[in-house]
Structure 1
Amino acid sequence: MMYGKLTALSGKRGELVAILLEAVQQLEDNEDCYLYIVSISDEDADSVWATELWKDAAAHAASLTDESALALLQRGRPLIAGVSPIRLKALGGKGF
């Protein structure tokens, strides 16, 4: 499981969120992606959180080689001031 805090350039969070939500749509049919949630905080106008759960690290890596995913990454990178990823091993829970 991965949590990623993406810090958008000032005033660019909405554009970044739109790109991440496009990624969600592209992943709808990807059976190796169990969860992909995009969140924002009312207290932090520049941060976006992405929560991802993949079958395994190889499935996640493979998703990043897809041409449409690469195009979204290219559009999103210029909007990002910083990234703080957190990788966790999910052990269980409701919805898991």
Structure 2
Amino acid sequence: MHGLIGRMLAADGKREELMAVMLAGIGPMPGCLSYVIARDPASDNGIWITEVWSDSSAHQASLDLPHVKETIAKARPMIAGFAERFETEPEGGIGLG
């Protein structure tokens, strides 16, 4: 499995709108075992994104899906940057099949 954990920074005052766009854009993504978006309680602009994929190629392929491209295009103006990004190798857990 392939895991990603990242902290995105929303533009000032745009966190809730950005999260709504990201959640509305979730659709079928082959190989996606878990996709979680969460507020960073330590930052007014921070968003944590936690993803688990069957493998890294499934994650890469998801970036070519029309609904993912559309979501990225809508979200881009509200994103101030990316603070942290970690890759992991999940072993298992609840909801990971």
Q: Alignment RMSD, CA only? A: 1.4
CA contact (8 A) 2:30 2:58 kept: no
Deviation at 1:31, TM superposition (A): 4.2
Deviation at 1:50, TM superposition (A): 0.8
- Amino acid of the residue matched to residue 2 of structure 1? L
Q: Which residue of 1 aligns with 2:74?
A: 75
Q: Which residue of 2 aligns with 1:14?
A: 16
In structure 2, how many angstroms separate the alpha carbons of the residues matched to 1:87 and 1:20? 20
In structure 1, how many angstroms separate the alpha carbons of the residues matched to 2:51 and 2:4? 5
Q: Which residue of 2 aligns with 1:89?
A: 89
Q: Which residue of 2 aligns with 1:5?
A: 7
Moved over 3 A (4+): none
Structure showing the higher helix proportion among its residues: 1
- Amino acid of the residue matched to residue 46 of structure 1? N
**TM-score (normalised: structure 1):** 0.86
**TM-score (normalised: structure 2):** 0.85
Q: Structure 2: any 5+ residue segments left out of the alignment?
A: none
Q: Structure 1: any 5+ residue segments left out of the alignment?
A: none
